[in-house]
Structure 1
Amino acid sequence: MKRRILLGFLLGIMCLHTSSAQQNKPLKIGVIGLTHTHVHWILGRPKADDIQIVGIVEPNKALAQRYADQHGYSMDLVYDTMEEMIKATQPVAVTAFGAIYEHLAVVETCAPKGIHVMVEKPLAVSMEHAIKMEALAKKHNIHLLTNYETTWYATNHKAYDMVNQGEIGDLRKIVVHDGHKGPIELGINSEFIDWLTDPIANGGGAVVDFGCYGANLITWMTHGQKPEQVMAMTQTIKPDVYTKVDDEATIVLKYPKMQGIIQASWNWPIARKDLEVYGQTGYIYSDNRSDLRYRLSEEQVEKSEKLTARTYPYNDPFALLAAVVKGEVTLPPFALSSLENNLIVVEILDAARESAQTGRTIELNP
C-alpha cells in the first residue's frame, strides 16, 4: 500500500515537472503569409524565449527571400502550403499575415488540428466568413484572436480605465481617427497593394483597412454593446489611384445614449491613430500611444500625461498570444483581441458598406 502511495506521489511530481517544462518552452508559431507588411512586427521582433517561429508559409519565394535577407531567417523555414508547414513543424499556433479573405482558409485548415490562430485586423472580410470562423474555433476549442496596432497603446487603456471609474461621467460620444495619405502614396510594396486595394481580397478600401480600428475600440469601450444603427458614407477621392475601392470613409454608430464616429482615410496629410472620448462631465484624448490629455470637468483645466509602454505580456501581440495559449492569461469579455469583440467589428463593417452603397441607415439586430 505504502509503495503504491509513494509511486503515485512520484508520478504526480513527474507530471508537474513535465507540465512546468512545457509551459516554459517557447510557443511554436507558424507564420501564414508575408504579404501584409505588419508581418515585420513578428519577423523583426527581438529574440525572446516566449515564442519560436518554426515555419513560414509563402509561395512567393522572391518575397520570402527578400524578407529573409532583411531579417536573417533561413529559407529552410519557408513552405509553399499550410499543410506542408504544419506536417513538418507541428506549430501550436499560427499568425496570419495575408489577405483578409484568406483568414477563413487559415482557420479551416488549423482549427481541426487544434492549432490556435491570430489574424491581423480585421477578423474577416464579411459576417459570412466570420460566422464560419467562429463556429470552427468553438467546435475545435481553439483561441482565435485579432491583432490591432492600437491594442498596445497605453493611452487607450488609461482612457478605458478612466471611463470605467466614472471620471468623465456617462459616455456621450467616441470619435476615432485612423488613416494616412494612402498606401500607394506611402510606397507600400506591390505584394501588399495587390490585395489591399482589391474589394474581394480586402473587403473594401479605407472603410475596412482603417474603419475596423474604430469599431474595435468603440465596441471595447462600450463593453460589447452593439450599435442600434449604422450610417456610412464612402468616397473615392482619388479614382485615378484607387480604381476599385474607396479611399475615404465616415461611419456613424447610434447607441441608446451615445454616438460613435469612425473616420477612416487614405487622404490625410499625416498618419494618425487617435481617440476622443466624451462623457457627461469631461473628455479624454488619446493622441497616440503615449500622449494622453483630459479634462474631467468644466471647472478643471486640461491635463496631460506621457505614458510608458504597457508591461509584459500586454505590450506585444505575440507575447499575449503565447500567454493566452498557455493559459497564463484569460482575456476579459469583449477585450480588444477577443473573438466576441471582433465579430461585432465585422458586423459593423458589413453594415457600413451596405449603408454607403444604398444610402440607407442599417438597423442591427440586438
Structure 2
Amino acid sequence: MGLKVGIVGCGSITRYRHAPEYYANPLVDEIVFFDRNRHRAESLAKEFEGTVAHRFEDLINDETIDAISDCSSNEVHHVHTTKALLSGKHVLCEKPLAISSEHAKTILAAQTKSGKKLMVDHNQRFTKVHQKAREIILSGDYGDVLSFKTTFGHGGPEDWGVTKSNATWFFKKSRSHSGVVGDLGIHKIDLIHYLIDDEIEEVKSFVGSLDKVDENNKPIEVCDNAVCIFKTKKGRLGNGSFSWTYYGEEDNSTTIYLQKGILKIYHDPENQLIIEQPGGEKIKYELEHIQTNDNQTNTGVIDSFVDWIVSGVEPPVRGEDALSSLQIVEHIVND
C-alpha cells in the first residue's frame, strides 16, 4: 500500500507543483484536497484523480491519511501545520514556515511532541546546480568563502497566483506579512546557509513598495523590493536583492567569492555553474535549468518528502532549518 496524502490550499503552488509531483510518485496512491473555495479542490481532485475533504478537520482526522502538504497562505501555516502534526500526520509546509519566529517555534514544538516528520519547501536546495556548488565549496579546493551576492527577482506574483490579478493575497499584509522577502528572499537566505554551511546573523536592509498596486490602484501593503547587506556567524559578508519588479527575464543568480576563485551560479542559461579561476581559466558545468514560474519541472521536493517517510532517507532541508532563515526575514522587514 502506498501513501495517502492530503493537501490544504489549492492555489497555484498546489496546481503546478505539489499535486502533479504527488500524482507522478509511484509511492503515493491517493491525494485528498481541501480548500475554502471548494470548487478549487474539486477541480484539482478531478484532474489528479483524488477526492475532496469538506473541512480541514476532516482532512487531519482521517486516519488513513499519512501526510499533509500545507499549501495555505502564510498567516495560517502555524495553525494548519501544528494541527496536522498533532493529529499524527507528517507535514510538508510551504515556505515561509510561519509569519513569525514565535509561530515557527510553536510548529517545531508540535513536531517534537508528535514525533512526526516536518519538512519545509526550500526548493533551491534540491537543484543539481546548487548541490554541486555546495560540494565544490565544502571541498575546500578553492579556499574559504570570503563574500557572496545573491538575487531573486521576477515580475511579481499577480501572474502566478490562482486569481491572476493584483487582488492576490501576496499583496496583503495580514496574509503575506513579509511581501517579496518572505516570497523570494527567504529562498536565497536559506540557500546561502546551505551553500556555505554558515548562517547569517546580522543584516542591514532597505525595503519599499516601489511600483506594485492593489486592486484599488493603491500601493501594496508589503514591500515589493528589498536590498540587504549580510554578515554571517563566520564573518563572511554578502548582499541580497529581492524584487517583484524585474519586468523582464527572471533573475535567480548567486555568486560566491572564494580565496582561489569565483563560483557563478545561474548566470549563464547554458552553463548554469561556472568556476572562474585566478589565472582566467573557466570551468563550466551544464547541469539543469532552474525552475521558473514559466518553466514548471519536477522540483524533487515531493519525492524527497515521500522517501523520508517511506525509507527514512534524510532530506536536504528539515523544519529546524527554516527557523534561522525566517528570523533573518523578520529583521529585514521589521528593522
> Measured at CA, do residues 128 and 237 of structure 1 come closer, stay the same or move farther in structure 2, by a change above 3 Å?
same
Match of 2:274, SS?
Answer: strand
Residues 129 and 273, structure 2, Cα contact 8 Å, conserved in 1: no
Q: Which has the larger radius of gyration?
A: 1
CA contact (8 A) 2:6 2:31 kept: yes
Paired residue type of 2:79: A
Aligned residue for 2:272, secondary structure, equals: strand
Write the distance in 2 (CA, Å) between the matches of 1:294 and 1:72: 39
Query: 3-state DSSP class of the match of 2:320?
Result: helix
Give the fraction of aligned pairs with identical amino acids, expressed as a percent.
Answer: 19
Cα offsets for 1:273-311 (capped at 9, x unmatched): 22211111111112179733333531142222111599x
SS at match of 1:94: strand
Please report the RMSD computed on the Cα atoms of aligned residues, expressed in angstroms.
2.5
Once the two structures are superposed, residues 185-238 of structure 1 have per-residue CA deviations (whole angstroms, 9 ceiling, x without a partner) of x36332895321111211221111111011111111232x33331111111111
Aligned to 2:8: 32
Which residue of the other structure, out of 272, 279, 284, is the alignment partner of 1:292? 272
How do 1:206-285 residues align onto structure 2 when only pairs under 5 Å count?
Answer: 206-223=180-197, 225-241=198-214, 242-255=219-232, 256-268=234-246, 269-285=248-264
What is the DSSP-based 3-state SS (H/G/I as helix, E as strand, rest coil) of the residue aligned with 2:157? coil
1:350: Cα distance to partner?
A: 0.7
Letter in 2 for 1:51: V
Asked if 2 retains the 8 angstrom alpha-carbon contact of 1:284 and 1:292, the reply is: no
* Equivalence for 1:178: 152
Task: Say whether the 8 Å CA contact 2:152–2:241 is kept in structure 1.
Answer: yes
Structure 2 unmatched runs, 5+: 291-297
Q: What pairs up with 1:18-167 in 2 under 5 angstroms?
A: 25-45=1-21, 47-68=24-45, 71-74=47-50, 77-88=51-62, 90-167=64-141
Alignment partners' CA distance in 2, 1:174 and 1:64: 42
* TM-score (norm. length: structure 2): 0.87
Q: Give the letter for the 1:346 counterpart.
A: L
Q: Distance in 2 between matches of 1:295 and 1:214?
A: 20
2:207 and 2:226 in contact (8 A); partners too: yes
Q: Return the alpha-carbon distance in structure 1 between the equivalents of residues 330 and 287 of structure 2.
A: 35
- Secondary structure in structure 2 of the residue aligned to 1:283: strand
Taking the aligned partners of 2:45 and 2:81, their CA distance within structure 1 comes to: 26
Task: Find the residue that maps to 2:119 and give its secondary structure.
Answer: strand
Task: Summarize the Cα distance change of 1:123–1:286 in structure 2 as closer, same or farther, 3 Å threshold.
Answer: same
Query: Which of the numbers 301, 314, 319 marks the counterpart of 1:330?
Result: 314
Query: Please, what TM-score do these two structures have when normalized by structure 1?
Result: 0.80
CA 1:34–1:290 in 2, change beyond 3 Å: closer, same or farther?
farther
Q: How many residues align?
A: 319
What secondary structure sits across from 1:221 in the alignment? helix
> Counterparts in 2 of 1:195-214, with a 5 A limit?
195-214=169-188
Residue type matched to 2:190 in 1? N
- Identify unmatched segments of 5+ residues in structure 1: 1-24, 356-366
Q: Which runs of 4+ in 1 moved over 6 A?
A: none
